[in-house]
Amino acid sequence: MAVQLMSTLEAGRRLSPLFSVCGTKRERGGGPCHTIDPGPGASSVHGRPCRPRPQGCVHESPRLGRRRRVRPGDQRNGRVRRIVIVGGSLAGHHAAASLRQLGFAGDVVVVGAERHRPYDRFPLSKGFLTGQTSRPELDVAGEVPDVIWRLGARATAVDLSMRAVIVEDRERIEFDGLVVASGARPRDVGSVAQARGAFVLRTVEDAIRLRAALRGPACRVVVVGGGLIGAEIAATAVEHRHHTILVHTSDVPTGRALGHDVAKHLLELHRAAGIDVRPRTRVRDLKTSGGLVLGVTLNDDTCLSADLVVMATGTRPNVEWLAGSGLRHADGLDCRGTLHAVGNDRVVGAGDVVRAPHPLLGGESVRMEHWASTRQQAARAAENLLAGPASARPLTGLPEFGTTIHGARIRAVGFPQLADRGRVVWGSFEDGAAVVRLYRGRTAVAAISVNAATVLPHWAPQVYVSPQL
């Protein structure tokens, strides 16, 4: 065990000038103790005993169902006692798992607004909505050892000067490192929450409610939004024999998510399935009576009658709790390429809440709201938090995502939302299988396949990592 531990942490020496490591076991859980190294670029492995764990404040751990001691952050001699992760979903889970895999043995506290243990949101608009995926299959596999889960508790502020996260406006949890993984939420939640028959889709509760409604008797369904989630919901609704209208503001639905060529092909599939697609149309408000949805009013004063209305108009990053912290968060937490928050090296970000530059885009910052990106960011954020900025590595992985709509298996890699043109480089839509490569100027930024996933890797964009990143 000792040999395995040291070999893991010898690798950690190459990425750990901020945290140095001793090989002794702490009294609970075992593993190395991490310390902040005050010297620039220094890292050491020594055999001195770790300090005994001091008595600290007590917090409730919903996972363990008992009271558990949590030490306050101890900055004496730079010792790292605790890393707090704000966000209890996929990014938070993988950040916690990565910290343990990298040998961090201090406290890991995960603060999550939802009461559920981490689960995968990716299938909510896909297999879970259609009934092919069960609720237990959503749960993230693998138990992370020795993590304090503070679920059903919302972070409301952060005090960087005191290194403390404020929970529910009253409790302070001190930290020595912070992972911001607070995710995003749907737009238009306020109006939808007040009306029966109106839905958004973000949480498993949202999906359960929507799935039950779509399994009901045939009715009139209006889906608002031209992205992938709107397309998936509309396809599921029409499969359940509902009269379905898809309202969107662009010329072609999913054009931003998939590029014009694939989106045009998907539009043809929508119409062939019987979906009434309304392009270049904006919903002004919900039409209700007595708290019940009656339809939507469009920007030209047209009213569309509906029994169910689903708002799928995009997301907003959950950054309000960062107000007043000094961290930049206009449209997501602004991070450097290493996922360190701009202006604070003790804070990193991961998941839907992050806006960070990518080497493929020459330093342009983007939000990468996809399953594969969340996992990649969480692992790299944890690694770089331990490494410190001097030894941190930039995130270079490309976003990947996929879906199946009307039987068409669509897979994508890269940043299709940034493309200004595309061309079919393999197959054809007429033959039922094609690959489209997307460009911005002369740079390939994405590739998308329809029923041709095995061919896609050959056409994926190539990433060159500049030494300056």
Whether residues 46 and 151 share a domain: the answer is: yes
> Is residue 124 located within the same domain as residue 263?
no
Nearest residue to 179 (alpha-carbon basis) of 102, 124, 69: 102
The yes-or-no verdict on residue 431 having pLDDT over 60 is: yes
Nearest to 23 by CA among 12, 14, 15, 39: 12
**In this predicted model, which residue has the larger pLDDT, 31 or 356?**
356
Q: Does a structural domain hold residue 465? A: no
Q: In whole angstroms, what is the distance from residue 247 CA to residue 230 CA?
A: 9
How many domains is the chain partitioned into structurally? 3
Q: Are residues 307 and 404 in the same domain?
A: no
Using CA atoms, how far residue 241 sits from 211, 214, 263, 444, in Å, is: 14, 9, 23, 40
* Strand-pair category, 443-450 with 19-22: unpaired
Residue with tokens 């029966």: 196
Q: At residue 242, what is the residue type?
A: H
> Positive or negative CA dihedral for 464, 465, 467, 469?
positive
Tell whether 272 and 302 lie within a shared domain. Answer: yes
Q: Which of 313, 344, 365 is the last residue of a domain?
A: 313
More confident residue, 392 or 47: 392
Q: Which residue has the higher pLDDT, 57 or 380?
A: 380
Same domain, 329 and 180: yes
Residues in CB range of 403: below 8 A, 6 or more apart: 126, 228, 231, 232, 410
Token pair of 388 as six digits = 């410190």
In-domain check, residue 339: yes
How crowded is residue 139: how many other Cβ atoms within 10 Å of its Cβ?
13
Say if CB 242 and CB 321 are below 8 A apart.
no
Among 269, 297, 313, identify where a domain stops: 313
Of 141 and 242, the one with more pLDDT: 242
Residues 245 and 128 in one domain: no
Pairing of strands 292-298, 303-305: antiparallel
Overall average pLDDT of the 10-35 stretch: 34
Domain that holds residue 291: 188-313
Report the pLDDT value the prediction gives residue 145, as an integer from 0 to 100.
87
pLDDT at 132: 94
Q: How far is CA 255 from CA 226, 386, 416, 442, 454, in A?
A: 8, 40, 9, 20, 23
CATH code for position 54: 3.50.50.60
Per-residue pLDDT, averaged over 285-310, amounts to: 94
User: How many C-alpha atoms does 157 have within 13 Å on its Cβ side?
Assistant: 13
Residue 3's SS3 state is helix
0.75 surpassed by pTM: yes
- Specify the residue for token string 């039922």: 432
* Token digits of residue 393: 């590595």
pLDDT tens for residues 184-231? 999 876 667 678 999 999 999 999 999 999 999 999 999 999 999 999
Does pLDDT of 313 surpass 60?
yes
What CATH number does residue 439 fall under? Answer: 3.30.390.30
Are both 333 and 437 inside the same structural domain? no
Beta-carbon contacts of residue 68 (< 8 Å; ≥ 6 apart): 58, 59, 60, 61, 148
Same domain for 28 and 160, yes or no, is yes
Name residues whose C-beta falls within 8 Å of residue 325's C-beta, 6 or more positions apart in sequence.
Answer: 157, 158, 159, 160
Query: What is the helix (H) or strand (E) element at residue 234, kind and residue range?
Result: helix 228-239
For residue range 81-114, list pLDDT tens digits in order: 899 999 999 999 999 999 999 999 999 999 999 9
In a domain, 153, yes or no: yes
User: Could you tell me the end-to-end alpha-carbon distance of the chain, in angstroms, rounded to an integer?
Assistant: 36
Adjacent-strand bridge partners of 213: none
pLDDT at 53 over 50: no
Percent of the chain with pLDDT over 70: 81
**Same-domain check for residues 181 and 289:** no
Residue at 329 is within a domain: yes
Q: What is the pLDDT of residue 263?
A: 97
Is residue 243 a part of any domain in this protein?
A: yes
Residue ending a domain, among 387, 409, 432, is 387
> Quick check: 4 pLDDT over 70?
no
Mean pLDDT throughout 365-384?
A: 91
HSE-CB at 239 with a 13 A cutoff on CA atoms is: 16
Phi, psi (deg, nearest 5) at residue 90: -60, -45
Do 16 and 79 lie in one domain? The reply is yes
Q: Which of 101-105, 139-143, 164-168 has the lowest mean pLDDT?
A: 139-143
The answer to whether position 392 is within a domain reads: no
Q: How far is CA 288 from CA 301, 302, 310, 379, 455, in A?
A: 15, 15, 14, 45, 48
Tens of pLDDT, residue by residue over 146-161, are 999 999 999 999 999 9
Asked if residue 123 is part of any domain, the answer here is yes
Helix (H) or strand (E) holding 257: helix 255-273
**Three-state secondary-structure class, residue 27:** coil
Same domain, 305 and 322: no
**DSSP result, 409-428:** EEEEEE-GGG-SEEEEEEEE
**Same domain flag for 239 and 323:** no
Question: What would the two tokens of residue 245 be?
Answer: 């209208």
